[in-house]
């Protein structure tokens, strides 16, 4: 896989793409990365990428010409990339979307700045994504978030192939829940101990506890996930009991 970014601050990416899991995966050749400077596709001495919006308003808007010229130039260099724009109008980014992007041989993230981009640039978008209902100063951080989520799905990136399955938001057959609570040494801290089942050595009981705990934590912290979580009828009934009890308590 080749991951590319188009930005006015291309220098932001190298530290992230060369560190930790991403750095190891890149060094191992599981993916390659290249950052492009949008200003390389400008034609004035000031290397201008923005201008005032028609109709007035606050801030500046990124011009359509440099973006479209850059995309055309970049995608002519190899296999057609999946071009991703980040915008509040975009599809919410989820684990399902990360898995979809993983199928792309080449990803190109277009990182906007200022008040956004000229609407006509979106004609080049294969994907419009949003990483959340809040405002950032640019698309660089969203691009890093999405790149991280996609790269860790590449076989071999994590070392343990089950790491992508046994975690929050997993799309496995029994996934869709928050991950269960986890503990490590010391066995007791500030008077609070580790659940005895986790040190029992009984793997079947540990698995059962973790599944039940994941349901409980999801009901408590992200009840919105329960509806689409992949639960057995018995598990769904248990989750509904927790939700009903929580609702009753809130009404009191």
Please give the pLDDT value at position 68. 98
The helix (run of H) or strand (run of E) holding residue 47 is none
pLDDT at 166 over 90: no
Please give the pLDDT value at position 250. 76
The per-residue pLDDT of the chain, averaged, comes to: 95
**Is the model more confident about 249 or about 158?**
158
pLDDT tens by residue, 115-135 = 899 999 999 999 999 999 999
Please give the pLDDT value at position 167. 73
pLDDT tens by residue, 194-213 = 999 999 999 999 999 999 99
pLDDT at 248 over 90: no
Please give the pLDDT value at position 239. 98
pLDDT band at 161 (very low <50, low <70, confident <90, very high): low
User: Do 107 and 4 form a contact (C-beta atoms < 8 A)?
Assistant: yes
Please give the pLDDT value at position 163. 60
Q: Residue 125: left if φ>0, alpha if ψ -120 to 50, beta else—which one?
A: beta
Distance in angstroms (rounded) separating the CA atoms of residues 221 and 191? 24
pLDDT band at 229 (very low <50, low <70, confident <90, very high): very high
What percent of the chain clears pLDDT 90, i.e. is strictly above it? 89
pLDDT at 112 over 80: yes
Please give the pLDDT value at position 221. 97
């Amino acid at each position: 896989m080749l991951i590319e970014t188009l930005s006015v601050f291309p220098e932001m990416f190298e530290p992230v793409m060369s560190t930790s899991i991403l750095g190891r995966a890149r060094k191992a050749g599981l993916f390659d990365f290249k950052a492009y400077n949008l200003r390389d596709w400008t034609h004035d001495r000031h290397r201008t990428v923005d201008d005032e919006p028609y109709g007035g308003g606050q801030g500046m808007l990124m011009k359509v010409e440099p973006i479209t010229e850059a995309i055309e130039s970049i995608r002519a260099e190899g296999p057609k990339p999946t071009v991703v724009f980040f915008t509040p109008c975009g599809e919410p980014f989820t684990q399902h979307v990360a898995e979809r992007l993983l199928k792309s041989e080449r990803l190109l993230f277009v990182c906007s700045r200022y008040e956004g981009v000229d609407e006509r640039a979106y004609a080049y978008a294969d994907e419009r994504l949003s990483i959340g209902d809040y405002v950032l100063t640019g698309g660089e951080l969203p691009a890093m978030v999405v790149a991280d989520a996609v790269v860790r799905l590449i076989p071999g990136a994590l070392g343990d192939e089950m790491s992508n399955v046994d975690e929050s938001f997993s799309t496995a057959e029994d996934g869709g829940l928050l991950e269960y609570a986890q503990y490590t040494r010391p066995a007791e801290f500030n008077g609070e101990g580790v659940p005895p089942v986790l040190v029992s050595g009984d793997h079947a009981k540990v698995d059962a506890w973790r599944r039940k705990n994941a349901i409980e934590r999801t009901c408590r912290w992200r009840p919105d996930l329960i509806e689409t979580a992949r639960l057995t009828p018995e598990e769904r009934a248990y989750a509904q009991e927790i939700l009903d009890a929580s609702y009753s308590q809130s009404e009191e």
